[in-house]
């Protein structure tokens, strides 16, 4: 299992605001996405491109995943967004986020453009990833094809506000439950995105919660997608970062237990452990299925930077 790149918190930063770009460098978000789309007014987009190139090239981002969200392919800005940002700061960029993805062809078009720019600028071909944002009914219908459209795909992201408009949902509260609906109206959507991401072997990211000062409400919403298996969530305000980092990481207890399961199963299946297909870890029986589940929790814990506080001791024969 490949080591995960932690994306528990995905901080939105408007490219048109140099002060916010500078502040974001010191915040503890796992990923930052410097935004050229909804956070930038049309007249501000050319200047925002230059701000983002300068901020990336100045460095100081630490271990953060550095992503730029360009405009979607139906606009007049997308091509120039990619050309200027990747041509100007491609060596300092990890991913391009493509919003409002409707079908696989749009991902393939971005892949082809990235390849040409990488070749033209002496960059490693294929290193820059693609994050695909699902924000419409059409995009959700095609999410499986979108997930497999390019080797560059690293995440599938839910964009709730535009999606709600796309399906005429009767609500103006983005990312929260509605009192008139006896359940979670986003559950089906989130599961579709999660299944596509997991089938492709990439990460699934939940979208934003717009009531940015209501951290308890953010936590309630985030816990639902984290329980499903999502890897992280967008944060629109620094006050949401710590909550996301905690919620989308395993607890210390669960992380330690997962590592113990891996050690115990590895020993049990070895020559010294008797080459057994199952074994006991305390009062718990573990087997290959247990190992697979533990790999998920251990992988997320390692990505989050957790350290073990217990160790495995083989039982005496």
Feature table: binding site: 69, 135, 162
Q: 35-44: long-range contacts at Cβ-Cβ below 8 A with a sequence spacing of 24 or more?
A: 35/68, 35/69, 36/68, 36/69, 36/70, 36/71, 36/77, 36/81, 36/85, 37/69, 37/70, 37/71, 37/72, 37/99, 38/99, 39/12, 39/13, 39/14, 39/15, 40/14, 40/15, 40/16, 41/16, 44/16
Report d(CA 118, CA 247) in Å as an integer. Answer: 36
Q: At CA 79, angle to CA 76 and CA 81, rounded to 5?
A: 95
Dig out the tokens for 279 from the structure.
């074994």
Q: At CA 312, angle to CA 307 and CA 317, rounded to 5?
A: 175
Burial class (CB in 10 A: 0-12, 13-18, 19+), 272: exposed
C-alpha closest to that of 13 among 57, 51, 58, 62: 51
Contact between 7 and 65 under an 8 Å Cβ cutoff? The reply is yes
Binding-site entries for substrate: 69, 135
C-alpha torsion 90→95→97→98, nearest 10: 70
Binding-site entries for Mg(2+): 135, 162
């Amino acid at each position: 299992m490949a080591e995960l790149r932690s994306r528990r918190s995905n901080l939105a930063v408007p490219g048109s605001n140099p002060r916010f770009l500078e502040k974001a460098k010191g915040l503890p978000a796992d990923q930052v996405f410097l935004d050229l789309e909804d956070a930038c007014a049309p007249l501000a987009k050319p200047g925002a491109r230059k701000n983002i190139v300068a901020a990336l090239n100045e460095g100081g981002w630490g271990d953060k995943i550095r992503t730029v969200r360009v405009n979607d392919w139906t606009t007049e800005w997308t091509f120039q967004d990619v050309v200027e940002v990747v041509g100007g700061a491609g060596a300092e960029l990890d991913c391009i986020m493509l919003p409002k993805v409707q079908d696989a062809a749009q991902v393939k078009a971005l892949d082809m453009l990235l390849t040409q720019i990488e070749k033209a600028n002496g960059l490693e071909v294929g290193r820059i990833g693609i994050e695909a944002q699902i924000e419409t009914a059409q995009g959700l219908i095609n999410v499986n094809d979108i997930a497999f459209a390019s080797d560059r795909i690293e995440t599938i992201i839910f964009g709730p506000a535009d999606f709600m408009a796309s399906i005429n949902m009767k609500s103006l509260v983005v990312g929260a439950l509605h009192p008139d609906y006896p359940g979670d109206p986003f559950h089906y959507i989130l599961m579709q995105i999660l299944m596509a991401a997991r089938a492709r072997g990439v990460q699934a990211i939940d979208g934003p919660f717009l009531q940015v000062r209501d951290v308890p409400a953010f936590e309630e919403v985030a816990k639902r997608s984290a329980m499903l298996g999502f890897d992280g969530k967008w944060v629109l305000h620094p006050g949401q970062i710590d909550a996301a980092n905690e919620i989308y990481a395993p607890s210390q207890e669960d992380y330690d237990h997962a590592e113990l399961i891996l050690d115990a199963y590895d020993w049990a299946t070895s020559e010294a452990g008797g080459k057994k297909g199952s074994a006991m870890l305390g009062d718990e029986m573990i087997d290959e299925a247990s190992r697979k589940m533990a790999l998920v929790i251990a992988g997320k814990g390692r990505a989050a930077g957790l350290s073990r506080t217990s160790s495995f001791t083989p039982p005496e024969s």
